[in-house]
Amino acid sequence: MPPPVSRPGATTDARAVAVRSGAAVRRHRTLRGLSLRALAARVGASPATLSAIENGHTPASLERLHALAAVLGVRPALLLEPDERPDPGGAVVPTGGAGSWRRFEALPTDAVLDAAVEAFVAAGYHGTSMRAIAERAQLSVPGLYHHHRGKQALLARILDLTMGDLTWRLVAARDEDDDPLARLSRMVEALALFHTRRRDLAFIGASEMRSLEHDNHRRIARSRTEVQRLLDAAIADAVERGGLAARHPRDAGKAIATMCQSLPHWFRPGGPRTPEQVAAEYAELALRMLGHHGHAGHPGHRDDDGPPTAVR
């Protein structure tokens, strides 16, 4: 009997389908706000298996695709369609729409990244071994290295995601209004919201910069400088066009950023105030620090017991 004839490119086609399907699963999971672990539990798979599917390393069976589609609320065929959007790499692409910077959906992570975040928060970068991360991710150590090059690569990826997500939120908040005080107020609100809604990422960003190797440190430091530059530019505009009487605006900008960066150290979900309440309070504090004595910097804000408050 002659050997079966292999169609040229069949293996490549199967690989392409797996990659495309995995990207679609990850995209719809992210849009639904589900973590990788949560989705894995709901379809009866391990986080490692779902991570392999999302990364195109393992093709999903037809039965599993139907299970995934049912949980994600989409037609199974949608999980086989190509993702037309560009891969954001280290950045995080917003979903768009007014106020999108106030929504915090699941980031494009995998089981290993999620486990690394948990471990770094619990024990610090230097107190965490690759074996500890592998155990949290329910992977073998060799299996972990199949997904990521090492602990330094994990830390760098986490901080790239962190800075990408924070930067687009600040820009989106700034661009919602042309009034300089409202723009600055929204940017501080976005900064504070990020540090409460993404507490673990923000905590790692504040505590583990010292653990980055030279090239990674230089890249992330540039991203942090860009965030400060965006804030400083908004403050300068508020002083020039908004009439703020700040004597030392650059120092105030650093103080405002530091004030927000401290939030992960004390804010606790389920406490007496919500992230939104804290963010609004911080926006008002920032404007007062810069010499503003009105209400939170939003022109035309209506108090409960009076007419619209004028911006002064």
51 in a domain, yes or no?
no
- The string of pLDDT tens digits covering residues 138-179 is 999 998 888 889 999 999 999 999 999 999 999 999 999 899
Residue 206 covered by a domain: yes
Over residues 181-226, the pLDDT tens digits come to 999 999 999 999 999 999 999 999 999 999 999 999 999 999 999 9
Concatenated DSSP letters for the chain?
A: -PPPPPPTTHHHHHHHHHHHHHHHHHHHHHHHT--HHHHHHHHT--HHHHHHHHTTSSPPPHHHHHHHHHHHTS-GGGGGS---SPP-TTS-----STTGGG--PPPS--HHHHHHHHHHHHH-STT--HHHHHHHHT--HHHHHHH-S-HHHHHHHHHHHHHHHHHHHHHHHHTT-SSHHHHHHHHHHHHHHHHHHTHHHHHHHHH-GGGS-HHHHHHHHHHHHHHHHHHHHHHHHHHHHH----S-HHHHHHHHHHHHHTHHHH--TTSSS-HHHHHHHHHHHHHHHTT--SSTT-TTEEPTTSSEEPP-
Asked if the structure places residue 116 within a domain, the reply is: no
CATH number at residue 211: 1.10.357.10
pLDDT of residue 294: 66
pLDDT at 274 over 60: yes
- How many structural domains compose the chain? 1
178 part of a folded domain: yes
Judge whether 246 lies within some domain.
Answer: yes
Kindly report, residue by residue over 95-125, the tens digit of the pLDDT. Answer: 455 668 999 988 888 899 999 999 999 999 9
Q: Is the pLDDT of residue 137 over 90?
A: yes
Q: Is residue 173 part of a domain?
A: yes
Q: What is the pLDDT of residues 9-46, one digit of tens each?
A: 444 467 777 778 888 888 777 656 577 888 888 888 88
Q: Which residue did the predictor score with more confidence, 13 or 58? A: 58
User: Is residue 161 a part of any domain in this protein?
Assistant: yes
The confidence score (pLDDT) of residue 85 equals: 37
pLDDT at 11: 46
Q: Residue 201 is part of which domain span? A: 151-309
Model confidence at 272, pLDDT cuts 50, 70, 90, reads very high
pTM, full prediction: 0.68
Q: Is residue 280 part of a domain?
A: yes
